[in-house]
Structure 1
Amino acid sequence: MSAIFEIFDLMLFAILGGIGLALIASPLGVFMVWQRQSYFGATLAHSALLGVSIALLLQTHLTITVVVISLLIAWGIYALSHTRQLSSDTLLGILAHSSLAIGLAMISLQNSVQIDITGYLFGDILSINETDLWLIALTGLLIVLFFLKNWQAMLNLTLNPELAQVEGTNVKKVQLQFVLLLAFMIALSMKMVGVLLVTSLLIIPAAAARRLSKTPEQMLGWCLVLGVSSVISGLWISYQYDIPTGPAIVIAATGFFLALLLKKQQG
């Protein structure tokens, strides 16, 4: 029992931040899974490293700069996706790899700055501070307000965008707001699980929750439970076996998914 309290004292901000990110990731993750937007999330995650390189170059606040750059790139992806000159997967592939390459190149050219690139690629939840917690809380508030207003519209849009438009939903506005919220969340999560693993926090709990659910509301509820459980389990695995926290959280989430997958197949 004393070991549990010891972990809690050492990782208070990490636990609060991790649980907060799991909670705000869940409603976004379920719609990413429903709308098959996992590659879109991966593109935003890769572009977050460009925000890191710009923050180091301009010597600005890291988290805020990454958020701003991610929002701009999300808006750019949304705008370009409506030009129809390139297919969505081609556009996302170009942006994902080019932004990651430019970010890495900009970092390597800054000889006066000594950084551990592994921390940005795989995350460090123990570096979460009070400012990050406030940003997570702000993002959570924005997400709650968005889904209170647009839950049914998002469901309709997921099922049939044309029908949703006919029924009076401002499809472009709702889609853009969702994309910007997703970018905001990914930029914040980068600090926890890193550029290469951030999309997993959105997709894996939602995919696992889908196997337990018959309604959208049930899926959201199970996604919340599995997301928080993955964070707590990942922190415990990281503490016990001295492995990076980001991969540990993803391993825990994957474990839940595989357990549910096997259970369903056996059932």
Structure 2
Amino acid sequence: MLDDFFVRAVLAGLGLALVAGPLGSFVVWRRMAYFGDSTAHAAILGVAMALAFDMSIYIGTLVVAVSMAFLVSSLVARGQVMDTMLGVLSHSALAFGLVAISFVPSARSDLSGYLFGDILAVGRPDLALIWTGAILVVGLLVLRWQRLVTSSLNEELAMAAGINPKFERLVLSLALAVVVALAIRVVGSLLISAMLIVPAAAARVWARSPERMAAVAALIAAASVVAGLFSSLRLDTPAGPSIVTAAALIFLVSQGVRRT
């Protein structure tokens, strides 16, 4: 009944939702929203690099996102004022990326796709890569779950238990870089952080434990994908922004539930 491209779009979005929920929960717990922005905005620089050197978009984006993750982690270790520093890095990375991509003529016509996503153009190789990456990141989070949760909620308790909070922060940073690389084709660099933060923020109302919050966040992200894509199909609206809009509406409903 549905065209193949729409089925692939739904599956790609669900793959992103699978990992965005748990990872987004850590972003919320650690107040890493600005970090998500800086890594996601740097993805545009990765796109420019990939196109200039005729390599995979995913590889170029991953290289730049991982570099940004290491840079931010080193700044945290040095005790830099992170809200200001991440704000500078976030907007500077986006500006450098947009300037760099302007030198690649073939990319100018596709710029909106890199900024806001082009999930309806996802092919079978993209789909396989998204699901492989998502499963690997989720597996990493499951294996290190207790260490990551403890270091996120109380670093002093983590050190007392023999956990290195700096290393766990680096693990999260690298996982976030991988998700940014995966999501560039789905929701674009400007909306990636929204897909991490909004479902996790909405899940807080229903959370009685970290595990439940991560699971509910993944379900909300999945519902946002399905609702956003169907509304995009019906209303002829951009798919990526429609997905984030659906997530925002779920967040507003959850806030109403909290007040009652």
Provide TM-score, normalisation by structure 1.
Answer: 0.92
Report the more deviating stretch, 63-72 or 234-243.
63-72
1:114 Cα deviation after fit = 4.4
1:110 Cα deviation after fit = 3.0
Equivalence for 2:116: 122
Q: CA RMSD in A?
A: 1.5
Q: Which of 2, 6, 25 does residue 6 from structure 1 map onto?
A: 2
Q: Which of 79, 90, 94 does residue 100 from structure 1 map onto?
A: 94
Q: Which of 66, 74, 81 does residue 76 from structure 2 map onto?
A: 81
Distance 1:108 1:223 in 2: 37
Equivalence for 1:247: 241
Report the more deviating stretch, 189-198 or 40-49.
189-198
SS of the residue 2:55 aligns to: coil
Change (3 A) 1:145 1:263: closer
1:148 Cα deviation after fit = 2.5
The answer on whether the counterparts of 1:24 and 1:139 sit within 8 Å (CA) in structure 2 is no
Equivalence for 2:14: 19
Equivalence for 2:167: 173
Aligned-partner residue type, residue 199 of structure 2: P
The answer on whether the counterparts of 1:47 and 1:100 sit within 8 Å (CA) in structure 2 is yes
Aligned-partner residue type, residue 155 of structure 2: P
Q: Which runs of 5+ in 1 are unaligned?
A: none
- Describe the superposition over 1:209-251 as per-residue Cα deviations: whole angstroms up to 9, x where unpaired: 1111211122122112111100000000100000100110011
Q: Which of 241, 251, 255 does residue 257 from structure 1 map onto?
A: 251
Distance 1:45 1:114 in 2: 19
- 1:67 equivalent in alignment to 2:62: yes
Q: Which of 174, 199, 206 does residue 205 from structure 1 map onto?
A: 199
The answer on whether the counterparts of 1:139 and 1:181 sit within 8 Å (CA) in structure 2 is no
- 1:188 equivalent in alignment to 2:182: yes
1:153 Cα deviation after fit = 1.1
- Describe the superposition over 1:192-220 as per-residue Cα deviations: whole angstroms up to 9, x where unpaired: 11111111111111111111121112212
Equivalence for 1:162: 156
Q: Number of aligned pairs?
A: 260
Q: Which of 47, 52, 67 does residue 52 from structure 1 map onto?
A: 47
Change (3 A) 1:225 1:36: same
Identity percentage of aligned residues: 41
Aligned-partner residue type, residue 52 of structure 1: V
Change (3 A) 1:164 1:110: same
1:46 Cα deviation after fit = 0.6
The answer on whether the counterparts of 1:81 and 1:91 sit within 8 Å (CA) in structure 2 is no
Change (3 A) 1:114 1:46: closer
1:112 Cα deviation after fit = 6.0
Equivalence for 1:34: 29
Distance 2:239 2:52 in 1: 27
Report the more deviating stretch, 28-37 or 64-73.
64-73
Q: Which runs of 5+ in 2 are unaligned?
A: none
